Amino acid sequence: MKKVSGANQIDNHRILLFVSMFLLSLVFLVKSSYHLLSEEFRSYLPIIGNVVFVLFLIVLVVLIFWRIKYVPKGKQYQLLSMGSFVNEKFDQACRTSWVLTFLLLLFVTNIKDGNDNLFPVRFYIDLTLFCMLAVFSVSFFYYFRLWEKESNI
C-alpha cells in the first residue's frame, strides 16, 4: 500500500468534510421540496430524506475515523491551519456561497413581497440552507479541480 503524506491526508479529510456538507444540503433540499411536489410524491420524501441523512451520518463517522487513523498525530493541528491550500479553496468557496445565497435571498424577498402566503417561512429557511451548503461544497470542488488542472499543465 502506498504511503500518503500527512498533508495529503489532511486534504482528503477536508474533501470528505465537503462531501458531508453536500449530503446535508440534500437533506434541506428534500425538506424544501415538500412544498413544491404533488401529494403522491410527498409520501416518498421522508424515505429519501432519511436515506440521505443516514449517508450523511456515515460520512461523518468516516470523517472521525479518518482523522483518528490517518492524520498523523503531529499534523492534526494543520486541519485548522490558515495557510494551507485547502483552506485557500475553502475561503474561495465560502465567498462564492455567501454571494450566491445573498442573491437568492434578494430574489426570494422580491418574489415574496407580492404574495405573503406563497410558501411558509420554513420553506425559505430550508431553501436558503440548501443553497448555502450546496453552493459551498460544489464551489469548493470546482475550485479544487480547477487548481488541479492548472497545476498539471
Q: Where are the domains of the chain?
A: 6-151
Task: At 21, list the grid cell.
Answer: 456538507
- List per-residue pLDDT tens for the chain, 153 residues long: 455 566 666 677 777 888 888 999 999 999 998 888 888 888 898 999 999 999 999 988 888 787 777 666 665 555 556 666 777 888 888 899 999 989 988 887 777 656 666 788 888 889 899 999 999 999 988 887 766 666 655
CA distance 4 to 19: 20
Total residue count of the chain as it appears in this document: 153
Grid coordinates representing 148 are 488541479
Q: pTM value?
A: 0.74
Cα–Cα distance between 135 and 118 in angstroms, integer? Answer: 25
| Count of C-beta atoms within a 10 Å radius of residue 141 | 15
Would you state the pLDDT for residue 147? 61
